[in-house]
Structure formats: structure tokens, C-alpha cells
Structure 1
Amino acid sequence: MRVLIVDDEASIRRTTRIAVETTGHAVTEAASGARALKLLEETSFDAAFVDLKLGAEDGLDLLSKLLKAQPQIAVVMFTAYANVATAVEAMRRGAFDFIPKPFTPDQIRGVLAKIEKNRALESRLASLETQLADASPPVDLESAEPPVQRALEIAFKGAETPATILILGPSGTGKSVLAREIHRRSAQRDAAFVTVNCPSLSRELLESELFGHVKGAFTSAVADAVGKVAAADGGTLFLDEIGELPLEIQPKLLRLLQEREYERVGDPRPRHANVRVIAATNRDLAAEMKAGRFREDLFYRLNVITVTLPGLSERPSDLLRFAEDYRKFFAARMGKRISRFAPPVLAAFAAYRWPGNLRELRNVIERAVILTSGEIIELHDLPEELGAQVSPTVAVGAPVTIDALEAEHIRRVLATARNLEEAARTLGIDPATLYRKRQKLGLL
């Protein structure tokens, strides 16, 4: 944390500095209220220790000014034993805590620990509120597909390190869900997880949302804004769809990744941020780089640990499990008793290519749960494009090739089997042979 010490006695500032620095925090000193306010114009602080009596200055007045300048700062007041009532008044006005004089280094360290815990809880609460706002079925990060198993293994190993992680894959494959799980398994798990949706805003507004701005930086900047980078300090910054990040902002992101420094819009002063970056995109960044739409140096800086999530059509052995999870979730949420999918529905699921991936599957099943009038989801409860996938031409005795018939049969078995091993047993072959057949028939 960045800590400001405001006291007109040099010995008190020195003693407090030593206690704070032994806990690993950065310290700045000010001998007067005016100097403290000047420092707040230049730097953001997490905590401040302020004497109630700064010579002729009133510490309570300074407290109000500090909180007005930086509302997030935790202000701890120093007070003499005779001024406990005044300290209580300071807390009523917004002080985080107070320490009576004379104090010990352990008291300083103790209140810093309280501030850190409080900030961690606030960040955690904000993260939980975001998750609740996106209420969704339980996260399923298991797979019977070897390529997905390998991708998850890489992601979870990378989670334990501070390395930047790049998640690739088509839209709807669960990239943001995986990013949250990486954060949950990381050393930053108790701090904030902050998402920036890169294509959602214009270049100017995106830069402001990412790095913050100062009042007057542009027409609508009526007050200072700290930005998502500052909000994620100590935690994880998730850059969703980074392939659409404007070229003008890319050098600034590169600076953040390399030097942990950035500047707010309208303010040339460099600021520091300790953030772990996870980025995701459905674009081919190598192709974007060759086309001149993505910086080469930023690409290689992001490409430390890369995880690729395949589309749902490449995960046939996972499809039924996802579908069942969604069925149970939406049936419970809507208070309906729905026991299963009819066999033609499972065949339609197996035949469909799922261009929208998991997001589309979720929407299809939510719709089916709403529309079905019985306990079984039938083919007529699905959108027309899914029902059309069950082709009567691919059947025994129909004028189709052996390969087409075999591919259709394998696809349908995979849709109803719980895993690849069960599918292989049903087909009477071993899993390795099943993998080779899927590869040959274009079912991977």
C-alpha cells in the first residue's frame, strides 16, 4: 500500500515510517496539511496517518479535505490520551481508526493489517456482486476431451504464477469463466477481479475507462476517475476481446505490462499499478499483427502463456453434461419439473454445429425449459435450426456413404455418452481407435 504520514513532529514521522516500512509498504511524509493536500494532487494513497494537532492547523479539518480529495483513503488519526473524545468525533466524520499517543510500532502495524483486510473484503465484495449480477449455472471446468484437458492444465499451472495469460477461442466458449477461475486460483484471489470489455466503447472513452482521467481532461470529465487499472491494483485485470483494442491505446497497455506504469487521461504524471493481466480474444492475433492492426511487441508481451478453448462442436463428449447442467439449473430457477431430453433432442444436439458455443447452448435450453409443457424436452421445444439438423437422409439403407453413416452414428453416441470411455464401449472399440475415427471423420 501507499501510506502518507502527516505530522509536524519529525520524530513521530520517523518512528511511524520505520513501523510502516517494516511491513513492506511505501511511505511519503508531510509536515503540514498543505503539503499533504499537495501530495494528494500528485499521487493516490491507500492510507494516511494524521495528527489531530498540526501546529496551528486542525486535524479534523484536514481529515475532511483528505477524504474529499481521495474518498477511498483510510485515514488514521494520532491523538493524545486527553483527546479521545475528539478522536471519536474524527471517526464519526469518516476516519478509519485512531491511535493514542504515545504509541508502539505494533499498534501501527496492527492498524495497517486492519486496513489491508478491510480493502481485501471490499474488493472481494465487489467481485462477488459482479458474479451475482451475472447469475448463471454452476461453472463446469472439467472435460473428457484431451485437448481441453491440456488447455485447462496449462491455465491452472499458469494461475499460480504472476505471468500474463492469453485465452484464445471462439465467442461463447467460456473464456471469461476461465479467466475468473484463474484469478480464483491465483495469489491475487482475495483482491479485485476487474473486467474491461475492449470493443464496448470509443477509443477516447475506453482509454478513460482503462486508465482513468482527471477533471477537465475532456468535455464530459466533470470529476476525477481512477479507472479500471487502479481499481484492479493488487488483483487481476481481465481484458476481454483484446483483439479489438484500438492501436492508439496499445502502446499504453504495453507500458503497463512492461513497467507497471500508466498515466491518466489529461495527467502526465506516471502512476504505478501492481496488476495481473489476463486477456482474451476470438481473433487470430498473429493475423491481426501481420495486417498491421495489432502491435507485434504487445502480441509477444501478451503471449507468455496461451490457452486455447475449442468450440462446442469439438467437444462432443462434454455436450451432454453441459446440457444436463443447464436443464437442471433453468428448471429449478423456473420451478418446473423437467426430467430429461427426448432422444431426438439429443440427436439434434449431436448433429448441430453450435456456432454460438456454450452461450448458444445455454440460450437454447433456457428457451426449451420455458416452452415445454411436459416433463420431457421434445424436438418441437427447440429452435427450428436445431430440428432441421436431424437429417432423415443419413440412415441405414439410405443413399449415403459408409463414412457418412459412421460419422452420424458416432456423433449420436457421443451426444448420449457420459464420457469418451463410455462412448467407446458402446461402439465396441477402444478410446484410441475412437479418437482416430473422430479425427478421420472430422469430428474433432
Structure 2
Amino acid sequence: MTAPDHSPPSAAGRVAMLIVAAGKGLRAGGGVPKQYRQIGGTPLLRRTIEAALACDRVSAVAVLIGENDDAHYADCIAGLADPRLQPPARGGDTRQATVLHGLRALAHLAPDIVLIHDGARPFVSIEVIQASIDAIAAGHRAAVAAVPVSDTLKRADPESGAILGTVERNGLYAAQTPQAFRFHDILDAHERAASEGLASFTDDAAVAEWAGLTVVLTPGETGNVKITTAEDLRRFDRDSATREPRMDMETRVATAYDVHAFEAGNGVVLGGIAIPHDRALMGHSDADVVLHALTDAVLATICDGDIGHHFPPSDPQWRGAASDQFLDYAVDRLRQRGGRISHLDVTIVCERPKIGPHREAMRARIAEICGTPLHRVSVKATTSERLGFTGREEGIAALATVTVRLPEQNDDITAQGGHA
């Protein structure tokens, strides 16, 4: 490792991650850019974005997309509700121009550190990301994730294929991403290169080197591969079918039921959507019976009590509170245990208001709160044929079923209560 520059160290401060995903990716086939092709049912780019968001030291994530990729990108991030994810920015004619566009788009956030990462490297780990941040926070001005070259390297004639010699691999490294920089350093370097008409740099570290910055290496990982070809996609898609069993993942299903009575009012909140009605639902919070049932079901998958345990109605801070924060809290606790949502299903039982006109808005809002794709959320409604308290229009009931995938080793984690 090279010693740090002697200029004043940079505190970690605000860290932005720029994901470069504006290329055509035609070598992977399939009729769409490779970053939107699926691995194990999930778009490659979404996996990359989720990997970036998994590091809580990253303050903002910005994605650079192609000129005509708006619809692909919208489908890719559907239901991904993280306030750190910025609106996408447009790429340029080259990768170098694309990165410059992205850096300019980040300027209003005034980050201290920027990580530039390939959208086609979906398996980057938190450890690799954190090592990149640490290098800049320690005083370096530029850093590149890399792994030592382990294969024997040959130099050959490009026309005949005849070997001309063996390359000494000691001291050789294969560069990966993320590549980390002090934000203003790399922005200035890219601006200077563009102003001088230089457009042939193969990565951002090369731009930094040209600008006179010392670039150091940080630990990469062999698993932090860049997916390039159709065969790469097929291989990782095949691997995804066996990856979960090797991780000892299990499926858990939990159900929950909630009910709220009507009281005087002029509207109800169901599934995070305000619906005009001639009455309101009675409750300490906003009485969203749908989100309450889903919250209880999510907590049940990790054996973590119920909504009343975490948000007791005796606590005045929850009076009139929006219930989306309860569900968001439950999903966050699931993710802290390594779990992820496979499916959310809720049935609303009431005579009125009519649910049909609001069903899709509820699905979209639930998907947004939970950070899950829309196709994993089901909302349906029924009446009780005028029987019982719902039939007499005395209140509304909701039944929720939640299916998750969870690492088996988390069975032994003791759930801890507390407020959000």
C-alpha cells in the first residue's frame, strides 16, 4: 500500500455512490441492456443498487442510465423505497462522459467522498465498499478495489497468436470497482480531461492518475465479478438456483389479524392510502388496519412480538401516527436478521368503502414501504355477506399473510423490543 498523501486527512463525512449503468450491454444478448436482465428472478442492476444501499455508511446512491432506458429502470427499482436512492441521471456517449455527467449531478449533494461502481458488478460486498470508504477517510485521495493477478500471463502476437513471452505477475493487480475518491478531486480531474479533449481513459483511476493523484489499492474480492456476456448471465442465473440452499435459507410464513371499529369522521386510511368515507376508524394511531396486520405478520416471521409490544398505545408519541412507519420498522428488523420478503398478501373485510378503486394504489404504497417489487404484493377484499360486525358496518378487519426467506442461523438470535 502506498502511504497517504500529506494533505489534511478527509473525514468520512457524506459518502455518495455513483452506479454506472448507461451502457447498451449488447454482448449479453436478450434484446435489452444486460443490466436489466435477470439473475435468479431479480434484475442485475437492482442487485447492484441493493448492494450499495446495504452499506449504511453510504449516504446517497445515484444511478446513470441510458437515454431510452426509463421504462427498464422504473421496472428495475419498482417498490425499492430508500430515501438515499436519487433520481437517475443520463449517461453520455462514452463511459468517461457518463461518469462526468454523474459527478455533476451529485454536486448539489456536496458529498465528501464518491464511490464509482460498475452497474454490472452486482455481487460487491459491504466489506469491499467499506474498505474503499476507509481509504479516503484515512487521508488517501483515490483508491481502487483490486485483487492480485493469480493466473500466468502471456504476451502474444495479436495476429499470429504466437507467444512472445511470459509476464511477471508479481505486483500485478486486476482492478475492480468501486473506485473511491475525494469528490472534488475526481470531479476536477474529469472536468480537466474533458476540457482537453481526452476521452480514452479506461477507468476513473486512470483519470485520477493523469491528474496527478496518488491512487492506492484496497482489498477487492474474487466474487466481485463484472458480468459481461450472455454466458456470464446464464452461469450466475444457474448458480442462483443453488445459492440459497448453500446459505441454509429457510422459508417462513406468518399470518396476522387486525380489526378497528368505526367512529365519527370523514375518511379512513387503508394500506397507506387515504380514502374518503362517511366515517373514520378508531385507533391510537391512524388506525390503518391493513398496515397493522402486515406489521404483525412481518414481526411474526422473526418471532419478534407484535405491534403493541413495539408501539404501545399507552405511549402518547404514537397518537395519530402514520402506520407506514410501523411496517417500515418491522421490515427493517427482518432485514437486520438477513431476511427478505418473498410475498405479502392481505385480505380486507368490509362492506364499505369499496376497495376495488383503491386496490392498485394500496399495492404500490405497500411495495414502496417494504422496498419490494410490486409483483410480490397482493391486496384483495371481500364482504362478510352482511354477517357479524363487518356485515353490520361496525368496523373493518384485515388478514395478512407474509412469506419470507431467512437464514437458518438466525433462529438463535434473541429478538429485542424497543421503539422505532
- TM category (shorter chain) comes to under 0.3
**In terms of Rg, which structure is larger?**
1
Q: TM-score, normalised by structure 1?
A: 0.23
After TM superposition, the score normalised by the length of structure 2 is: 0.24
Task: Select the structure with the greater relative contact order (CA < 8 A; seq sep ≥ 6).
Answer: 2
The structure in which a higher percent of residues are strand is 2
